[in-house]
């Protein structure tokens, strides 16, 4: 069994760390809000005073935080992982959804310190993390992935290897951008249905049984119909906006226009401007409800057409 430093015990990280504990690994856990490690400590983990403390002497460091800035602090800050002395050939397993640019930069730094880096974002909701049913989206050298499998299997039902470091993040950003577009279009449809006088509960039930019924659409249209955005926040609008932004940056780096992704990102920007960023991402329906056609388009439609000669 391995000595693991686990950093980031939010909704997802707590479940992932618990699975590693249940598999018999020795964990030292750190979270910026210390109280969020209490359940893991009660289950047998040790509490760390800093990311550096968590990584000291570890055979693997697993990180699950919200964004690039948090990841930079955890790894490169004054009391970060890279200031520690883990074992030789320790695994650096970054499970956060980050920009590909930062992932590649971090991997190069980790490799220069003799660490084996796995780009390992995940897909699945918090209950899947708690049950060990995540899918891992991996970018890594094949030999590093093979060596790390005893650490990855307790947290997941599948480990999809997309290629070298950065490939796992590229795929994660792609699917999260698809999700952003789906949710934005679902919000527009629900707002349109409401304005057309349809029963939103019935609309949500009909969508769930039709061809548009992706898990993202079904989950969010149900919450849009119920107006249930501020309780049990599964994925906030702020996090969805962050992922869409990282994905659009990837498109920029690859010289792609990504017009639908940019439209979804613009809607998420308006969601944040409306002060709804900490609510569930389904609250984007409020942006769709508030949207009106520009005055120029309205006047063009109201002008009588000229007879053809």
**Structural domain harbouring 150:** 3-165
Average pLDDT taken over every residue of the chain: 95
Measured CA to CA in angstroms, residue 307 lies from 61, 296, 297, 300 at distances of: 73, 22, 20, 16
Residue 300 lies in a domain: no
Structural domain count of the chain: 2
pTM of the model: 0.92
Question: Rounded distance, CA 263 to CA 39, Å?
Answer: 41
**pLDDT in the model for residue 23:** 97
Q: Are residues 145 and 176 in the same domain?
A: no
User: What's CA 51's distance to the chain center, in Å?
Assistant: 21
Q: Are residues 108 and 195 in the same domain?
A: no
Contact residues for 143 (Cβ-Cβ < 8 A; gap 6+): none
Asked whether the predicted pLDDT for residue 36 surpasses 60, the reply is yes
Mean pLDDT over 201-217 rounds to 96
293 pLDDT band, cuts 50/70/90, is: confident
Residue 260 lies in a domain: yes
**pLDDT tens for residues 216-260?**
999 999 999 999 999 999 999 999 999 999 999 999 999 999 999
Q: Are residues 138 and 51 in the same domain?
A: yes
Q: Are residues 73 and 142 in the same domain?
A: yes
**At residue 161, what are phi and psi to the nearest 5 degrees?**
-95, 105
Residue 305 lies in a domain: no
Helix/strand/coil (H, E, C) string of 217-278? HHHHHHHHHHCCCCCCCCCEHHHHHHHHHHHHHHHHHCCCCCHHHHHHHHHHHHHHHCCCCC
Residue 242 lies in a domain: yes
Beta strand extents in 8-128 (DSSP E only) = 26-30, 46-47, 60-63, 91-94, 116-119, 122-123
Residue 281 lies in a domain: yes
Q: Are residues 11 and 158 in the same domain?
A: yes
**pLDDT in the model for residue 298:** 62
Q: Are residues 23 and 98 in the same domain?
A: yes
% the chain with pLDDT above 70: 95
Residue 89 lies in a domain: yes
Question: Rounded distance, CA 260 to CA 270, Å?
Answer: 16
Residue 81 lies in a domain: yes
**pLDDT tens for residues 89-142?**
999 999 999 999 999 999 999 999 999 999 999 999 999 999 999 999 999 999
**pLDDT tens for residues 156-204?**
999 999 999 999 999 999 999 999 999 999 999 999 999 999 999 999 9
Q: What is the DSSP letter of 136?
A: E
Question: Rounded distance, CA 172 to CA 34, Å?
Answer: 28
Q: Are residues 9 and 115 in the same domain?
A: yes
Final residue in a domain of this structure, among 120, 142, 165? 165
Which residue, among 138, 26, 73, 100, has the nearest Cα to 253 in the 3D structure? 100
Q: How close are the terminal C-alpha atoms of the chain, in Å?
A: 85
**pLDDT tens for residues 281-292?**
999 999 999 988
For 9, counting Cβ atoms within 10 Å of its Cβ (0-12 exposed, 13-18 middle, 19+ buried), the class is buried
Asked whether the predicted pLDDT for residue 308 surpasses 50, the reply is no
């Amino acid at each position: 069994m391995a000595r693991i430093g686990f950093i980031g015990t939010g909704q997802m990280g707590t479940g992932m760390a618990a699975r590693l504990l249940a598999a018999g690994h020795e964990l030292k856990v750190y979270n910026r809000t210390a109280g969020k490690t209490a359940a893991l400590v009660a289950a047998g983990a040790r509490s760390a005073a800093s990311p550096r403390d968590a990584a000291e002497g570890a055979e693997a460091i697993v990180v699950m935080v919200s964004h690039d800035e948090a990841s930079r602090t955890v790894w490169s800050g004054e009391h970060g992982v890279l200031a520690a002395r883990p074992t030789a050939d320790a695994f650096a397993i970054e499970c956060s959804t980050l920009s590909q640019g930062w992932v590649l930069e971090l991997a190069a730094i980790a490799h220069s310190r003799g660490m084996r880096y796995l780009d390992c974002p995940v897909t699945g909701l918090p209950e899947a993390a708690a049950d060990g049913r995540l899918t891992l989206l991996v970018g890594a050298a094949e030999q590093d992935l093979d060596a790390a499998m005893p650490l990855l299997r307790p947290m997941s039902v599948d480990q999809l290897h997309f290629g070298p470091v950065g490939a796992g993040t590229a795929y994660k950003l792609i699917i999260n951008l698809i999700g952003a577009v789906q949710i934005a279009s679902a919000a527009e449809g629900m707002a349109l249905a409401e304005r057309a006088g349809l029963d939103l509960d019935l609309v949500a039930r009909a969508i769930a049984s039709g061809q548009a019924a992706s898990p993202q659409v079904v989950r969010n249209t149900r919450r849009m119909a119920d107006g249930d955005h501020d309780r049990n926040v599964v994925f906030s609008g702020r996090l969805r906006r962050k992922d869409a932004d990282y994905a659009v940056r990837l498109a920029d780096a690859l010289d792609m226009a990504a017009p639908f992704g940019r439209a979804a990102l613009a809607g998420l920007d308006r969601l944040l401007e409306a002060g709804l960023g900490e609510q569930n991402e389904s609250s984007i329906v409020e942006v769709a409800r508030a949207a009106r056609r520009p005055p120029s388009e309205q006047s063009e439609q109201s002008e009588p057409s000229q007879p053809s000669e």
